Amino acid sequence: MWEARSRWLLATSLSVSAFVAAQMAMFALKVVFGIKLPFVLFDYCVAWFRYIGVPISLPLMSAVFVSTLVFCARQIVREAVCARRFGRMLRRTADNRLSRRYARRFGFDRRQLTIIRAVAPVAMTVGFFRPRIVLSAGLLRMLEPAELAAVVAHERHHLRRRDPLALFALSLSRTALWYVPLLGWAEDKYRTAVEVLADRHAIAASGGGAEALGGALLKLLRQGRAKGMPTASASFADASINVRLRLLLDPRYSPSWRPPLDATLLSIAVLALLAALS
Amino acid sequence: MKLHNFKFHGNGLERFFGPLEARIMTALWEAEGELTIKEVQQALNKDKAMSFNTVMTVMNRLVDKGILSKKANSKSHLYRPVLTRDEFLEAQSKELAFELVQEFGSRAVAHMVDALEQVDPDLLDQLERQLKQHKKER
């Protein structure tokens, strides 16, 4: 279920984004360069709004178009800057000896695993095209061997699926197409789904089972929760980490996949306005 | 206590502080108690002469950053580090790792655990109890 739904979420979100992007490109070609294309929904959209008397004009549609480009460019630049800064930080903090040792132990290519010198426990998979797993020396000290194997198996799953790239694509869609709120819901659900899938892979592949993964999660969460953090409230019941904990406690747990009504209606309205005009 | 000028290329305390700040912090941590500006200056003068005003300025800056605490004494002020050396290094390391996790693109990374503030503590307690139960049964 999780695998199929995650694929569906990714495919649908990216299709919607590609569709809107293509329409915008055609709209720009016509408005800016005067090139007339046969099928420009944005163009029809403006005309239709005018027809029904809604005060939406070409400048407003252009503003939406420009905002999409600006948000998109801003996020890409931000990610590029962060990736560069992160690369520098990795080079400075990487423990090459430990990285080589653990890469050999877990069967990774040397470039796929980096151990950083940090007391705090860190475990993540980063990188768009050539993802790598980053673990901290603090994590290695904190976890039992079986727990570490579970964490590595979890991250290996992210690495193989290139999850960071997919997460970035969904995040970019959400930010740029801010007027389709369902994309935000889809991104959140996808994040949960990829974490649950990685957990399942870790349980099956690491040899330590759910106990090892649960132990690792418990230590990471207990260690990471700083004093003074607000306690969780019901509004976080669907947060990725809570869904994962519930699934560890009860593998039959099935969270709701129903999208929020207001976001759904608004997204449908936006897309229907476009689609109905074709 | 968050330092914004972490230097990856530095060594020891100089990764977190300027050279004089690092020497002052070392003097205070080694003293294991409260010192006046004069006493810190005397400790620093063993290596290299420092003016009282320079030491005072830097120490008051460290107070402003929340790294030192300052207490009025009869004639002068007494200064002491807010954290021990080990506590400080651990806190900074955690801060660094937290930023590493939080700031890397933030959306383009798969974290083992994220959104810690959203964790339901009841679920954590349940998990802990279940793990203890499993260990007992083995």
pLDDT tens-place values along chain A, 278 residues long: 788 888 988 998 999 888 888 877 777 777 777 776 666 666 666 676 667 666 656 676 778 788 888 998 998 888 888 788 788 778 878 888 999 999 999 999 988 999 988 777 888 888 888 888 999 888 898 899 999 999 999 999 999 998 888 988 998 899 888 888 888 889 888 988 998 999 899 888 877 688 888 898 888 888 765 433 333 333 344 567 888 888 888 888 877 777 777 777 777 777 666 554 44
- Asked if the interface predicted TM-score (ipTM) of this complex is over 0.85, the answer is no
Looking at the complex, report in whole angstroms how far the Cα of residue B119 sits from the nearest Cα belonging to chain A: 6
- Regarding beta strands B77-81 and B68-72, do their DSSP bridges make them parallel or antiparallel, or are they unpaired? antiparallel
Higher model confidence: residue B135 or residue A234?
Answer: B135
The residues, any chain, with a CB within 8 Å of residue A101's CB and separated by 6 or more, are none
CA A6 to chain centre: 11
Provide the pLDDT confidence category of residue B78 given band limits of 50, 70 and 90. Answer: very high
Q: Judge: B131–A116 Cβ closer than 8 Å, yes or no.
A: no
The answer to whether A245 contacts B114, with C-beta atoms less than 8 Å apart, is: no
Q: Can you say whether the dihedral through the CA atoms of A73, A76, A80, A85 is positive or negative?
A: positive
Q: What's the pLDDT tens digit per position in B34-51?
A: 899 999 999 888 888 889
**Helix-, strand-, coil-residue percentages of chain B, each rounded to 5:** 55, 10, 35
Identify the burial level of B90 via C-beta atoms within 10 angstroms of its C-beta, where 0-12 means exposed, 13-18 middle and 19 or more buried: middle
Dihedral sign computed on CA atoms, order A206, A211, A216, A217: positive
Residues of A in contact with B87 (CB under 8 A): none
Which tokens sit at A248? 């560890």
**Does the CB of B123 have a partner CB in chain A at under 8 Å?**
yes
Q: Which residue, chain included where needed, has tokens 């593998």?
A: A251
Q: Does B49 touch chain A (CB under 8 A)?
A: no
| Cβ separation B109–A92 shorter than 8 A | no
Question: What is the distance between the alpha carbons of residues A178 and B94, in angstroms, rounded to a whole number?
Answer: 34
Question: What residue type is assigned to position B132 of the chain?
Answer: K
pLDDT given at position B93: 64
Tokens 């580090």 belong to residue: B81
The pLDDT of residue B11 is: 53
Would the pLDDT of B19 be above 80? yes
Higher pLDDT, B135 or B83: B83
| B-chain residues near A155 (CB < 8 A) | 110, 112
Write down the pLDDT at residue A127: 84
Q: Where are the beta strands (DSSP E) in A31-187?
A: 113-116, 123-126, 132-136
What per-residue confidence (pLDDT) applies to A101?
Answer: 94
- Structural contact between residues A154 and A134, judged by C-beta atoms closer than 8 angstroms: no
What's the confidence (pLDDT) of residue A58? 67
Average confidence (pLDDT) over B105-131: 74
The backbone torsions φ and ψ at residue A154, rounded to the nearest 5 degrees and listed phi first, read: -60, -50
- Angle, to 10 degrees, between the axis of helix B52-64 and the axis of helix B37-45? 120
Identify which of A82, A128, A168 has the shortest CB distance to residue B103.
A82
3-state secondary structure of B129: helix
Cα A173 to Cα A177: distance, rounded to the nearest angstrom: 6
N- to C-terminal Cα separation, chain A:
34
- Hey, what amino acid is at A95? D
What pLDDT does A122 receive? 83
Please name every residue paired with A181 in a beta bridge, in sequence order, or none if there are none.
none
Chain B residue at shortest CA distance from A225: B116
What local confidence, expressed as pLDDT, does residue A154 receive?
92
Asked whether B120 and A237 are in contact (CB, 8 A), the reply is yes
